[in-house]
């Protein structure tokens, strides 16, 4: 009985080896760029206490998001990038089984947040260039 | 390329998930046109897909008398050419 069971399990090994041999290892690299880059340097273009909302709209265009507050508005500009790498080992012909998937996703944003006072003059701003931290693969 | 493979790429890239920019305020008007370009190299063993989504966007701020106070415009789709 025991030897019959062993034989049966040994019989599965060639089938498993065939599946592994015909399986396909594929690599997929994806890049997503959403929105427009913040091309103007905020340090050069924005003067706290002087630059107005109209000037900001002329320089940077429409913001991605506007937030209204009791003491003035907030404009948010973002540029979003996503890098993904996927390694897949699958058998696509007979069983359509995926044996292994490795996926790495990096998402980074350049963000500019501008706070205005009640008169529409820049009160403060923050800028963070996150897309520079993206690794190539 | 089969529609199934193309849909899988779109799903993986998540390019279609983002909603349009909206400003939920009565004194802000927003007009937006989104355009996306997808370039893909499908070689079964190695695949490369690149998606760019850009917008032409006009935003108009109105004053209390409903007259234009400020506006901003960006022609983002030019960056796709």
Residue B16 sits at the chain A interface (C-beta within 8 Å)? no
Chain A: closest CA distance from residue B60 (Å): 9
Residues 6+ apart with CB under 8 A from A30: A82, A83, A84, A85, A86, B9, B12, B13, B48, B49, B50, B51
| C-beta atoms of B48 and A57 within 8 A | no
Q: Stretch A21-45: mean pLDDT, rounded?
A: 87
Choose the closest CB to A58 out of B49, B50, B72: B72
- Mean of the per-residue pLDDT values for chain A? 86
d(CA A64, CA A79): 9
For residue B71, give both structure tokens.
């506006």
Q: Which residues of B touch A83 (CB under 8 A)?
A: none
Buried/exposed code over B30-42 (b: 16+ C-beta within 10 A; e: otherwise): beeebebeeebeb
Give the model's pLDDT for residue B14: 67
pLDDT at A1: 47
Domain boundaries, chain B: 3-80
Q: Kindly report the nearest CA distance between residue B27 and chain A, in angstroms.
A: 11
Search chain A and give the residue with CA nearest B28. Answer: A66
| Cα–Cα distance measured from residue A42 to residue A113, given in angstroms and rounded to the nearest whole number | 10
Instruction: Note whether A27 contacts B45, CB cutoff 8 Å.
Output: yes
Lowest mean pLDDT among A3-12, A57-66, A71-80, A83-92: A3-12
Q: What is the pLDDT of residue B46?
A: 87
Would you state the structure tokens that stand for residue A89, as one six-digit string? 């080992």
Strand partners, A134: none
Q: Which residue has the tokens 């209390």?
A: B64
Q: Please indicate whether, in this complex, the C-beta atoms of A68 and B49 are within 8 angstroms of each other.
A: no
* Residue B24 three-state SS: coil
Residue B74 or residue B1, greater confidence = B74
Q: How confident is the model at residue B18 (pLDDT cuts 50, 70, 90)?
A: low
Choice between A9 and B30, residue whose per-residue pLDDT is larger? B30
Q: Do A32 and B55 touch (CB under 8 A)?
A: no
**pLDDT score recorded for residue B9:** 66
So what's the ipTM on this one? 0.77
Would you place residue B56 in the very low, low, confident or very high pLDDT band (cuts 50, 70, 90)? very high
- A93 versus A131: which is more confidently predicted? A131
> What residues in B contact A88, CB-CB < 8 Å?
none
pLDDT at A28 over 50: yes
């Amino acid at each position: 009985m025991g030897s019959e069971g062993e034989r049966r399990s040994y019989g599965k090994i060639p089938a498993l080896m065939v599946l592994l041999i015909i399986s396909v290892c594929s690599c997929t690299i994806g890049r997503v760029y959403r929105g427009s880059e913040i091309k103007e340097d905020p340090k050069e273009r924005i003067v706290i206490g002087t630059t107005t909302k109209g000037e900001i709209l002329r320089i940077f265009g429409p913001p991605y998001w506007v937030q209204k507050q009791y003491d003035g508005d907030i404009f948010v500009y973002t540029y979003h990038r996503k890098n993904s790498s996927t390694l897949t080992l699958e058998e696509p012909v007979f069983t359509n089984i995926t044996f292994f998937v490795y996926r790495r996703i990096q998402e980074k944003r350049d963000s500019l947040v501008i706070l205005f006072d009640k008169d529409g003059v820049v009160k403060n701003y923050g800028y963070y260039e996150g897309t520079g931290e993206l690794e190539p693969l | 390329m089969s529609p199934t493979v193309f849909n899988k790429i779109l799903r993986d890239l998540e390019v279609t998930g983002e909603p349009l920019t909206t400003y939920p305020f009565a004194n802000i008007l927003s007009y937006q046109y989104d355009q996306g370009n997808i370039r893909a190299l499908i070689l079964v063993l190695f695949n490369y897909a690149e998606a760019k989504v850009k917008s032409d966007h006009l935003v108009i701020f109105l004053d209390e008398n409903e007259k234009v106070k400020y506006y901003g415009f960006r022609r983002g789709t030019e960056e796709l050419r």
